[in-house]
Structure 1
C-alpha cells in the first residue's frame, strides 16, 4: 500500500455544484405574476430566474389551483376599466314583442317587450363577467 509522505494539506476548498434551490411560495407567486405580465414572457422569465419552462408551468398550474396562497385565486387577470353605458328608457313595445340580446361573450337573452330595463341591465352585466 502506498503512503502519502508529501507536504501536508493546509487548505481545503469546497466547491458548490449548484444543487437544488428552494423557492418560497411568495417567490414562486412573484415569478408567476411576472411571467403573465406581457406577451411571450414565460420563457424569458424562466431564463431570468434560471428555471425550466416546465417548472414555471408547474408553478402556474399550482397558482391557478390555489396551492401557492390566496393571491393566486385572482388568476392574474388584468383589470380593464370601461365607461359605464347609460340606458335610455323607451316606451314599452306592444304586447307579444320579444327582444333578443347577445352579450360580448356570446350569451343570449330573450325577453318580452315589457321587461324592467334596470333589472335587465344588471343581468346583462352579470352575464358579461362569466367566461
Structure 2
C-alpha cells in the first residue's frame, strides 16, 4: 500500500497546473473511472471533480470557433447523407476525432449531443 507522508509546517499537497491537467485529462478518458484515477494519482475523488468543474468553467477550455464550408461533402452519420453545404456544427474532439452536426438535425438531437459532451 502506498502512503504519502508530508512533513514540516505545510500540511497540504500542492499540485502544479501540469499535474492537474494530466489528472483531469485522465479522468475524461473514455471508460475512465474517477475512483481508479484518484487511486492512480493518489488524490481525492472530490478534488478531481472540483478540478473538472473548474476546467469546464475556465475560459482556457474554450477554443475559437471556426466556420468552415465544405461544399459538396457529406456530413457523416446523418440519415440520407445530408450535404454539408448547409451550416453545421463541427466539433474537433480529443484524439483527432471530428464530429459534425448538420443544420437539419433535430434540436433535441443537438441538445443531447452537447449535453453528453459537457
Q: Given the two structures, how large is their TM-score scaled by the length of structure 2?
A: 0.48
Q: Given the two structures, how large is their TM-score scaled by the length of structure 1?
A: 0.44
